[in-house]
Structures are given as C-alpha cells and as structure tokens.
C-alpha cells in the first residue's frame, strides 16, 4: 500500500510542473502549432486584387417581410498590395473603363474605408462610410413591365453615414489562422476551428428628400414610417465560431459566423407630423466571413467576402434593414526578402 501512496505523491508533485508548461493566461499568445499552421511572415508578399464594396438599405414591411431595397452604384476597384512581417499596404484605384454604368444605376459619390486587422489572437474591423446616390435594386416587384436592361429608378438624394468597429478574440489561436485565409502570411495545413468573442460598436444615419417608398408600392407599406434623419447607435458583445477546412494542405475553405447582442438606440427627428422620439431596445447583429482559395509556399490566390447585417425584425412596425459588405479576388506570390529588409529567419 505504501508503494501506491508513494506513487500518488510523486504524481501530485509533478502536476505543478506540467501545469507551468501548458497553462497560459488569457492575454498570453500561445506558441504557433506547426502541425496546423506554417508561418510566412518573414517572406515578402506581393499581390494583385480586385475589390467590391457596398452599403445596402431596405425599408421592410413588418407583416409581409416585403422590402424596398436601395443600393449604391457598386464599382470594382483594382489594385496591388505588399506585405512583410507586421507591415501590409494595399492600394486600389477606380478605373473608369471598368465602371461605366451610371446611365443605368446612377452616380454614387462615396468615401469608403473598410479595414480588417488580423493578428495571431485578434481579428478587428474598422468601417467608415459616406455614400450619396442610390438606386432601387428590386423595381420589378412593384413596377409592371420593368425592363432590367434599362435605367433603374435613381435616388441621387439618398445619403448614408456609417461608422463601426469590432474586435474578436480567437480562442484557439495556436491552431486556427484567420491570417491564412485573408492576408496569406500564414498557411493552414490541417483543418480546425475556434470559438470567437468580442465587443462591437456602430453608428448609422440615413437622409433623403422624400420617403423611400415609391408611388407604385404605397399600398404595400406603412406610409407613416419614415426613416429620413433617423440615427442608430448599437453596441454590445458578440460570439461565434470559425472553421478552416483544408483539402490537400493547400486548398481551403474558411467560414465564420458571429452573432452580436446588445442595445440599439434609435433617434427619430420630427417628421411627417410625428414628434421626435428616442427609443432603445435589445437587438441582434450578424457578421460573416468566407474565403475560398489556394495557398502554397510561394503562390496563392482566392476570393473572400465579409459582411455585417443589422436591422432587427420588428413585430409591430416597419423597420430599416442595413448591410455592409466587402468582397475581394486576388492572386499573389511570396519572395525571399531583399537584403535591406534584414536576413530571413531560420
């Protein structure tokens, strides 16, 4: 019996040393697990890409869920990017020869800054958008004999402002890599996933000279609901899951869904004989990321998209649905860094 007791004491005395080797605090970065991720941050990365950004609004009937949806005239931007270690720079341009559909969808003036920051442990997003000039994207639902090849109903008076920020903590950051799917300075070589959680904040405002409801759709919507000048402030906490599926060590599919919950403060100005009002309610928010591509030691290519959707369904009155998205397609190559950037790590 004394032998069993001695064995137990030896095992208990060894536990603290084992714990010291495997336990990390919440803010500590665990070492990268090379069975799951290959690090390419010490190589110079050069890429060509195309980017398509959007900012969509829709007046939704709370009973029938029918909607009047407006979109900006979306333009494809072409550019190039370079990356090395912690530094990355992307530059894109709007080529007039590529985007020449103002006669059909109208002209949109915009300032659109959407940036994603990926570290080993965190994924952050920053959005600053100012749009002016929209078109009705689903007129065929309300206008009989509408010609989809002709001009769409254009609303140069509609303008929106959106500011937002979010941060996600990647719990399984030693094995799961967002960077491999979206900035390509790593490569996921074995399938795995991770829980995600963090805070978010957003501000949105829409202005126009008249209601969003077109005459042909007046019988389908509540005309007393007018969202012009309304402001929405939303904040809260979000949680979800991301997964990288790897096929043959190089082909991958990355998917993530994060659901946010928190208060939304809506400020409505005095309009249409209705008094100014401020109301607050608990609402939801959905954020998605998807990427599909090929990631090899020297060469990579793929497509990716990220979107945030807000506008909680209301059981008692019509509501304004808002969405922002950013899609990219790119091709790139990695090189050994030139000597002036320092020696390549062993």
Please write the tens of the pLDDT for every residue from 45-82: 899 999 888 889 999 998 888 999 999 998 888 888 88
What six digits make up the tokens of 266?
Answer: 């809506």
Are residues 221 and 318 in contact, defined by beta-carbon separation less than 8 angstroms? yes
- 167 vs 266: CA distance, rounded Å: 23
- Find the DSSP H helices in the chain: 2-22, 102-105, 179-182
- Write down the pTM of the prediction: 0.83
- 96 vs 125: CA distance, rounded Å: 29
Are residues 155 and 208 in contact, defined by beta-carbon separation less than 8 angstroms? yes
Are residues 261 and 284 in contact, defined by beta-carbon separation less than 8 angstroms? yes
* Percent with pLDDT over 70 in the chain: 87
Q: What does the pLDDT look like over 226-272, one tens digit per residue?
A: 899 999 999 999 999 999 999 998 999 999 999 999 999 999 888 77
> How wide is the angle at C-alpha 243 spanned by C-alphas 237 and 246, nearest 5°?
160
Q: What pLDDT is stored for residue 6 in this prediction?
A: 37
Q: What pLDDT is stored for residue 312 in this prediction?
A: 66
Instruction: Return left, alpha or beta for 19; rule: phi > 0 is left, psi -120 to 50 is alpha, else beta.
Output: alpha
Domains of the chain, each with CATH number or no CATH = 54-73+101-341 (2.40.128)
- 229 vs 135: CA distance, rounded Å: 19
Are residues 162 and 202 in contact, defined by beta-carbon separation less than 8 angstroms? yes
| pLDDT band at 22; cut points 50, 70, 90 | low
- 112 vs 2: CA distance, rounded Å: 73
For strands 231-247 and 67-72, give the pairing: unpaired
- Cβ within 8 Å of residue 198, ≥6 positions away: 122, 166, 167, 168, 169, 237, 238
What six digits make up the tokens of 13?
Answer: 């005395």
pLDDT at 13 over 50: no
């Amino acid at each position: 019996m004394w032998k069993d007791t001695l064995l137990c004491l030896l095992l208990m005395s060894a536990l603290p040393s084992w714990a010291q080797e495997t336990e990390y605090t919440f803010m500590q970065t665990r070492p990268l697990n090379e069975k799951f991720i290959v690090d390419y941050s010490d190589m110079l990365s050069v890429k060509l890409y195309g980017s398509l950004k959007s900012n969509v609004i829709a007046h939704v009937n709370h009973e029938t869920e029918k909607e009047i949806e407006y979109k900006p005239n979306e333009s494809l931007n072409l550019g190039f990017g370079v990356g090395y270690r912690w530094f990355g720079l992307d530059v894109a341009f709007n080529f007039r020869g590529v985007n020449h559909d103002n006669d059909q969808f109208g002209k949109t003036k915009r300032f659109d800054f959407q940036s994603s920051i990926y570290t080993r442990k965190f994924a952050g997003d920053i959005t600053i958008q100012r749009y002016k000039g929209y078109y009705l994207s689903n007129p065929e639902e309300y206008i009989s004999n509408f010609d989809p090849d002709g001009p769409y109903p254009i609303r140069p008076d509609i303008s929106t402002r959106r500011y937002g920020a979010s941060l996600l903590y990647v719990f399984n950051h030693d094995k799961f890599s967002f960077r491999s799917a979206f900035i390509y300075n790593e490569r996921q070589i074995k399938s795995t996933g991770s829980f995600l959680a963090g805070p978010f904040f957003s501000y949105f405002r829409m202005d126009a000279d008249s209601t969003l409801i077109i005459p042909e759709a007046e019988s389908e919507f509540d005309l007393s609901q007018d969202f012009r000048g309304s402001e929405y402030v939303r904040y809260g906490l979000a949680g979800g899951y991301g997964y990288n599926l790897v096929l043959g060590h190089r082909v991958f599919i990355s998917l993530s869904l994060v659901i946010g919950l928190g208060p939304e403060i809506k400020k409505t100005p005095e309009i249409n004989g209705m008094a100014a009002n401020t109301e607050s309610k608990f609402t939801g928010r959905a954020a998605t990321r998807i990427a599909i591509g090929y990631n090899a030691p020297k060469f990579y290519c793929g497509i990716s998209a990220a979107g945030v959707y807000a506008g909680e369904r209301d059981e008692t009155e019509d509501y304004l649905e808002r969405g922002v998205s950013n899609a990219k397609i790119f091709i790139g190559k990695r090189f050994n860094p030139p000597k002036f950037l320092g020696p390549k790590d062993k």
